[in-house]
Homo-oligomer: A and B are copies of this chain.
C-alpha cells in the first residue's frame, strides 16, 4: 500500500533517522546562510544530538529540561540575567573568557567580568580609601603595573570594585549603601605604581532564588563565590585585563560557584600588626597588606 520505500523526500533531503539524526538536521540549512552561523549551528546540533543519544532521556526528562529552560528565561528581567548565571555555574562563561583571552606566559590572566561592573566609578587620587561605609577589616593594596618585559606602565588606569563586608555590591543595595561604595578608578604613577585602601573582601552568594539556584542545590553545590576584588587594568598599547584578586584564606577558594579562580590570581594577604606602618597608611593596626603586580600583555 505504501509507495516503494525511500529514505529521502522528492527534493533529495533525507527523512529523519535516529542514527544520522544530526546530519539530517544540518542538511536542511539553506545556501544563502552566513557561513559562521552555519558552522556554529552545525556544531551545536552535532553535540546536542550526541548528548541526547548518550543520555537517552525519557519523555518526562525531556519535558523537565524544557520546563527548566523556560523558567530560566522567565526569571530574567532588567536586573536579573538567569541565563548568564546558568552559563556561569556550568563553567561556560569562564571557558568563553579563557578562549578569548589567551595571554603570553607571565601576563596577568583574565577572568570573568561579572554582572556588577559599573562604568564611571568615582575617580580617586592614589592612596584613597574606596570604602565609604566603614565596615570590614582595613586593607591596603599596592604594587606596580608592568609589561611582560617588566617595564613599568606609567599612567595605567585601574578600575576596582568589590562587595561591602555584608557581601553586597552597592548597586544591589541602593539606598542602603553609600553610592559608589567600594568602587574606584585610580591612575598609576610614572613608575607604574599604584596603592589604595579598602576592606578585605568577603565571599558572597550568587542569586540562588531561581531555577539556577535550585539546580545547584540538586547538584549538591553551593552558590558562593570565593572572596575577591575585581580589577580592570587598561593602558594604551597594552591588552586590557579584566581580572580578580582572590584572598588565599576563603573557605570557597577551591569551589567558587562560577569557576573564576585561577591559581595565578590568588594573592598573599599579610596581616600587619605594626602601628607605625599602619600610621603611614592613615590606618590603625592591625590591617591587611596585599602586594600585587599586574603584568599587561601587548595590545
Contact A219 B73 (CB under 8 A): no
Q: Please indicate which of the listed interface residues A7, A73, A87 has the most CB atoms of chain B within 10 Å of its own CB.
A: A73
Chain B residue contacts of A12, Cβ below 8 A = 254
Residue in B5, B18, B22, B83 whose beta carbon sits within 8 Å of that of A99 in the complex: B18
Chain B residue contacts of A2, Cβ below 8 A = 264, 266-268
Q: Does A151 contact B (CB under 8 A)?
A: no
Bound form: Cα–Cα A264–B241 in Å? 58
Contact A9 B254 (CB under 8 A): yes
Contact A255 B73 (CB under 8 A): no
A-B CB contact pairs (8 Å), 29 listed: A2-B267, A9-B253, A9-B255, A10-B251, A10-B254, A11-B254, A12-B254, A15-B254, A15-B259, A15-B261, A21-B98, A28-B219, A29-B221, A39-B55, A40-B61, A43-B51, A43-B55, A44-B55, A45-B91, A47-B47, A47-B48, A47-B54, A48-B90, A52-B96, A59-B97, A66-B81, A70-B76, A70-B81, A74-B74
Given contacts A15-B254, A31-B220, A66-B83, 4 further A-B contacts (CB under 8 A): A16-B261, A41-B219, A70-B81, A73-B76
Residue numbers of A with Cβ under 8 A of B are 1-3, 5-13, 15-16, 18, 21-22, 24-25, 28-34, 37-41, 43-59, 61-62, 66, 69-74, 76, 81-84, 87, 90-100, 143, 218-221, 248, 251, 253-255, 259-264, 266-268, 291-293
